[in-house]
Chains A and B, each alone.
Chain A
């Protein structure tokens, strides 16, 4: 029975459903058990699954690294890293072991782990609580990187991620956790690597994910053109075909992300558009991104994260080129 849920509730109900469906699913992380998570994403799970929901020591390398061993015994670890910026402390385990264990053992040891982590700005959090490192994770072969943009998308993508045989970094846009409710269907799976058209249009393609998708949809309402908004949903694998088809139709492309510009996913998307739709382009691919600075604390955060004005301006630049 479909329910109206916030994103954080969609996370919780998906975890509950997967714990219920599959005895091998194990949920753990800092504060996830007794407190139910700092965002309450795991609230109540300990009561229902006391043997498979655990609080973890404050040790991100430990949280990620133990997942390799849990998975080796046949379990399906679903750890939470409380904020994405602290996944940097587990990044060595992620890059050196989680991502590589399958290829280096030729499939005899695998790590079907889903690492959930809130990311991004917009909630006036502490320093180092607002980063968006999706391009960094996507740059590590062996990982898949998922960023949902709504409650229903969260349910579909998280369900798939937990059931998926490859390790997934599942980045939840913090600012959308409680931003709105949406009807969430039961037990649905959204394949990894399939983008969706959030809106259809003919004049310009805008690619945006996570919290920037919401911002983009708001921004393009004020643009006097027919805008097609593509939500890749998975940053890796990236659904190039949907993006390219759209750009071949519209002839213009804007990529929006809140991560820093240099080395960000917009560069990769631009390259793929150049490879496959160059002769259809009527303007250079436009990037609307964060700046190449450490994400500032919240007094300056609103100036860092792309907002509707900057996105709309980027779309207009592409249209007017």
Chain B
């Protein structure tokens, strides 16, 4: 048999709202003015939460924090495309997506304050808590999407991870399992160009990250991740496909405008020129111009939204501080097991009675 081509693959890229504000009218999603304004407000709210959180960290009020500044369109646009019953399965930089899904800012701050209270799931379901290991949580999303399928529901799990995570074996296993089990799962890879300091070119030789789907036999698509309308459109279509058991990997091309975490100094590994270039492509600015052009947003509305966000965040920060005063250290024992082993009960009793280390009886 001669050598011949037996398969061909291609990756599409989508953009609705370009950086120079030209609009592909055919691709504009059908969203009401109120929905568009709600998306804008969520993007602004997560931006301001990140800015306030960085300041709180600098003052020592919270611990290490991973801001999503610059990635608001990728997260808000995709999370907006979910239904209330769908699941968000996040990594540690998914504040914007979680806010859209109903998680409140004080919970995000609690998590950053080192309190498990911040990883409790509001309403009991619909999201999993932040995952700290890189790339481990897409497997959980596949389990969720597969579990929904087994139980005959149409709920979808949308999971988020970065470009660096695609180097982890678990991400490939997740894509592969999703294809095998028709798991109702959408993978949102936010290609923000850096895994801490490691550039994409040092992360992979692949031309796109969307093509990682191809080896798993599922659809991969790229979208301009700083274009909230494009992200919404692509995510909406992907989620509807996933409801029918066809998982999709979305690569949202974006840029992490600030640091990896508050412990990181990006000036060590990034050029200012590059940062300036991406500042000009800021997703919130771009969307604001669009909304103004459409007559949906004016100075007065912008001011009203900003005011509402500031008041909301001030109250949420107060709530976070108040909650932090109620931390009961013995909770670390209470939640480790549903049925606490006797030896752990004795350790807890010793702890609560102030037993000196080494002095407790742990039979």
Residues in A lying within 8 Å of B, measured CB to CB: 26, 51-52, 54, 56-57, 59, 61-62, 65-75, 77, 92-93, 96-97, 101-110, 112, 141-142, 144, 164-166, 192-193, 236-238, 240-241, 244, 272, 275-276
Contacts of B124 in A (CB 8 A): 108
A69 and B331 in contact, given A51-B150, A276-B363 (Cβ under 8 angstroms): no
B170 interfacial by beta-carbon distance below 8 Å? yes
Contacts of B117 in A (CB 8 A): 106
Cβ A73 vs Cβ B136 within 8 A: no
Which residues of B, 170-192, contact A by the 8 Å Cβ criterion?
Answer: 170, 173-174, 176-177, 180-181
Measured CB to CB, the closest approach of chain A to B94, in angstroms, equals 15
Measured CB to CB, the closest approach of chain A to B72, in angstroms, equals 26
Contacts of A67 in B (CB 8 A): 143
- Give complex CA distance A61, B332 in Å: 27
15 A-B pairs with CB atoms under 8 Å apart are: A57-B180, A62-B139, A65-B143, A65-B173, A66-B142, A69-B128, A69-B139, A72-B87, A102-B335, A103-B336, A106-B117, A237-B342, A240-B342, A240-B343, A244-B363
Contact of A241 among B119, B362, B363 (CB under 8 A): B363
Contacts of A193 in B (CB 8 A): 341-342
B9 interfacial by beta-carbon distance below 8 Å? no
4 closest residue pairs by CB, A with B: A69-B143, A65-B139, A237-B341, A73-B147
Indicate the member of A61, A92, A164, A192 with the most B CB atoms within 10 Å: A61
Cβ A275 vs Cβ B341 within 8 A: no
B160 interfacial by beta-carbon distance below 8 Å? no
Contacts of A71 in B (CB 8 A): 143, 147
Contacts of B87 in A (CB 8 A): 72
Measured CB to CB, the closest approach of chain A to B214, in angstroms, equals 17
B146 interfacial by beta-carbon distance below 8 Å? yes
A93 and B136 in contact, given A62-B170, A272-B363 (Cβ under 8 angstroms): yes
B357 interfacial by beta-carbon distance below 8 Å? no
Q: Give the secondary structure class of B's interface.
A: helix
Contacts of A107 in B (CB 8 A): 335, 338
Which residues of B, 337-363, contact A by the 8 Å Cβ criterion?
Answer: 337-339, 341-344, 361-363
Residues in B lying within 8 Å of A, measured CB to CB: 87, 89, 116-117, 119-121, 124-125, 128-129, 131-133, 136-137, 139-148, 150-151, 157, 169-170, 173-174, 176-177, 180-181, 331-332, 335-339, 341-344, 361-363
Cβ B173 vs Cβ A61 within 8 A: yes
Cβ B146 vs Cβ A65 within 8 A: no
Give the residue name and chain of the B residue nearest to A59 (CB): B173
Cβ A104 vs Cβ B129 within 8 A: yes
Indicate the member of B139, B151, B343 with the most A CB atoms within 10 Å: B139
- Give complex CA distance A165, B338 in Å: 6
Cβ A106 vs Cβ B331 within 8 A: yes
Contacts of A93 in B (CB 8 A): 136, 139, 170
Cβ B140 vs Cβ A66 within 8 A: yes
Measured CB to CB, the closest approach of chain A to B240, in angstroms, equals 20
Measured CB to CB, the closest approach of chain A to B172, in angstroms, equals 9
Measured CB to CB, the closest approach of chain B to A42, in angstroms, equals 17
A106 and B119 in contact, given A26-B150, A59-B177, A70-B146 (Cβ under 8 angstroms): yes
A66 and B139 in contact, given A106-B116, A240-B363 (Cβ under 8 angstroms): yes
A57 and B177 in contact, given A104-B116, A109-B128 (Cβ under 8 angstroms): yes
Cβ A166 vs Cβ B338 within 8 A: yes
Measured CB to CB, the closest approach of chain A to B146, in angstroms, equals 6
Give the residue name and chain of the A residue nearest to B361 (CB): A275
A275 and B338 in contact, given A69-B143, A97-B131, A104-B119 (Cβ under 8 angstroms): no
- Give complex CA distance A96, B131 in Å: 9
Contact of A54 among B144, B181, B362 (CB under 8 A): B181
- Give complex CA distance A281, B265 in Å: 59
Cβ B143 vs Cβ A66 within 8 A: yes
Cβ A69 vs Cβ B145 within 8 A: yes
- Give complex CA distance A286, B106 in Å: 54
Contacts of A56 in B (CB 8 A): 177, 180
Give the residue name and chain of the B residue nearest to A277 (CB): B363
Cβ B151 vs Cβ A75 within 8 A: yes
Measured CB to CB, the closest approach of chain B to A166, in angstroms, equals 5
Cβ A109 vs Cβ B363 within 8 A: no
Contacts of A61 in B (CB 8 A): 139, 169-170, 173
Cβ B119 vs Cβ A72 within 8 A: no
A103 and B140 in contact, given A26-B150, A236-B341, A237-B343 (Cβ under 8 angstroms): no
Contact of A109 among B121, B132, B146, B150 (CB under 8 A): B121
A69 and B142 in contact, given A54-B181, A102-B336, A142-B336 (Cβ under 8 angstroms): yes
Cβ A72 vs Cβ B116 within 8 A: no
Measured CB to CB, the closest approach of chain B to A28, in angstroms, equals 9
- Give complex CA distance A120, B137 in Å: 31
Contacts of B140 in A (CB 8 A): 65-66, 68-69, 72, 97
Cβ B176 vs Cβ A57 within 8 A: yes
Contact of B148 among A73, A144, A166 (CB under 8 A): A73
Contact of A68 among B139, B169, B331 (CB under 8 A): B139
Cβ B143 vs Cβ A141 within 8 A: no
Contacts of A240 in B (CB 8 A): 342-343, 363
Contact of B339 among A72, A74, A164 (CB under 8 A): A164
- Give complex CA distance A70, B174 in Å: 13
Contacts of B146 in A (CB 8 A): 66, 69-70
Contacts of B142 in A (CB 8 A): 62, 65-66, 69
Measured CB to CB, the closest approach of chain B to A264, in angstroms, equals 18
